[in-house]
Chain A
Amino acid sequence: MGQIRFLLNGVDVILDDPNPTETLLDYLRENRKLTGTKEGCNEGDCGACTVSVAALEGGRLIHRALNACILFLPQIHGKSIRTVEGISAPDGRLHPVQTAMVKFHGSQCGFCTPGFIMSMYTAHRDGRQDFDDVLAGNLCRCTGYAPIIRAAETASKQPQPDWLTDEAERLQAMAGGDITLDGAFLPVTLDSFADWYVENPDATIIGGATDLGLWVTKLMRNLLPTVFIHRLQDLQTIEITEDGIRIGAGVTVARVRGAMVDRHADFAEMLRRYGSVQVRNSATIGGNIANGSPIGDTPPPLIALGTTLTLRRGSKRREVLLEDFFVAYGKQNRQAGEFVESLFIPNQPDTLACYKISKRFDQDISALCGAFNITVENGMVTTACIAFGGMAATPKRSAKVEAALVGQPWTEASVNTACDAFAEDFTPLSDVRGSSDYRLRTAKNLLRRYFHESTNPLTETRIVGRGVA
């Protein structure tokens, strides 16, 4: 028997042996009758369930907007949860984001409003003003968003309310060591996790739960036994070495984005459109790789950058090129009891471009995602590493296209010739995100886009983003 502890709207909560895959949303609504937090989609796509979660990291309190519908109770141990009911003053005065939303008519039906409020509240604490990104994970069907943005902009000029207290010390006292719940293990050291996982290779490893959450809420699956890896500090490090950058598998996509801004700006820009703030705050880079999805957005650029994975089983480690990790659909080069520990991106000149093509620009799964890393010397292509998601059963390099380019002059004619090789590299599927023909045609055109961008940098080639503005 074990227990988890957290703060809920400032109040200490201790739960004895909670169901490890009960979502925070169900807990709030059903156990606590805190019905301000809404269930909109139950899969992390609409943001109606957004809560603000504060956690101690490196001695600092970090506030994050997260989707409560795909957040399991063990994930909130040692953290402070604020819901829409918990941000006004004890005497009833409203938070500036609440006041502004009323004033600017930012709510109509009001059902998405608590989620917007909590995203805006979290941004307000952080001083963030990139509201299109901050609010990309909150869907509103009534307003068309304009009044919500007006409210957010106005509130951003208001100071932090004086009733918001620092909860760092209270959280510090909760941290503690390994926790064992009925059906779940929450280790705090990487070694204890590695050893445990060798003994329990059938356990479900849960990082951010942005994918696994849906296995519970939509596929109605039983994930037990589970092991939660979010407390492993050693899995969350970003280390800059002489040769490159090593990123722990438990690093969130939000932090990966930060680390890429100065190295590979186009990768960072693509990650701006990966999921939403709520998803990026929870999803881990290791999870995006280890789940082996053919449409994960981080593998194509990572492959194009020559990334190596470190896999670990017990105390044994081995390295594998990321492109070799994906064996077939649903099958990765990973043994029982082995897990992705970190990935390493070698230093290199930044010639990477990432193109994420989806029905909607923000918070959408790619129809295809292409990453191009081509070097040209004296007008000749010297190296080419091109990788795609959404074009095959796994993230995959375009070997034939690369071969058709390397050693050729970097000209439109070479590009057009190389485009013919796409059909040899890929026979994409048709699905709801795009037809096979569209995917193939667009993949070719993305090589053309890369060519335009490298040879005519002043030509406008993208509707959104070009590096990080």
Chain B
Amino acid sequence: MSDIADRVKKIVVEHLSVEEDKVTEAASFIDDLGADSLDTVELVMAFEEEFGIEIPDDAAETIQTFGDAVKFITEAS
């Protein structure tokens, strides 16, 4: 697993208090990992800080799963 995926996973595990093995490629933050809509906003904020990138609101809306997040961040950084 790439370094980016590891770092994203760490943030997700910490923020949503979920087991690491639940955070799979297709895991949806809201449907599978118990996030509410505000959690997803906070996750995006945490990604921005961890990776020093800006995630605009319209892009943030497309980040629904762990895989989406890793893909977006890999492309952006």
- Mutual binders A and B: no
| Chain B residues within CB distance 8 Å of chain A | none
